[in-house]
Amino acid sequence: FVVRVWCLLEEILELCKLDEINYCPCKVYTLCRSHGPTKDVFDQLFNERNDKIDVVRKSLTFFVNKKLSIMQVDVKNIETEFQSGVYLIYLMSILEGYFIPLGLYHETPLNFDQKLENMYFAFKLIEEAGIPLKRTRADEVVP
């Protein structure tokens, strides 16, 4: 599950203008990519030392928190807090610059089905933003 959340964020980050961020995850991302194109970036990262994983985790958390601070959201654990799809919906609305009415998603999902509906909606937003999701499916992200 953790790998799926990270891959999803990687696909979003890959197409964002990360050079404009002060503490730039793309520097870590570029270091991770230098191992070669044969494996997924995060597959290779998980084969590396834990300190590299912690650096990427902190970088992704910093990026997400910087963007979500507008909504007064502070993510402490990306792996668990993105499971409901709500923060991913928030992130896409901020990155794409549009408002999403509350009735289009479950702000406080109560069960697996509501979380999955949120994730499908978030994936739809990602695809409409022109970000191709090659390696991750919505049903793989919701535990």
Write out the chain's pLDDT in tens, 143 residues.
455 565 666 666 655 544 444 334 444 444 334 434 445 555 565 566 666 777 778 888 888 999 999 999 999 988 889 889 999 999 999 988 889 998 999 999 999 999 999 999 999 998 888 877 777 778 887 87
For the whole model, what pTM was predicted?
A: 0.70
Size (the chain), residues: 143
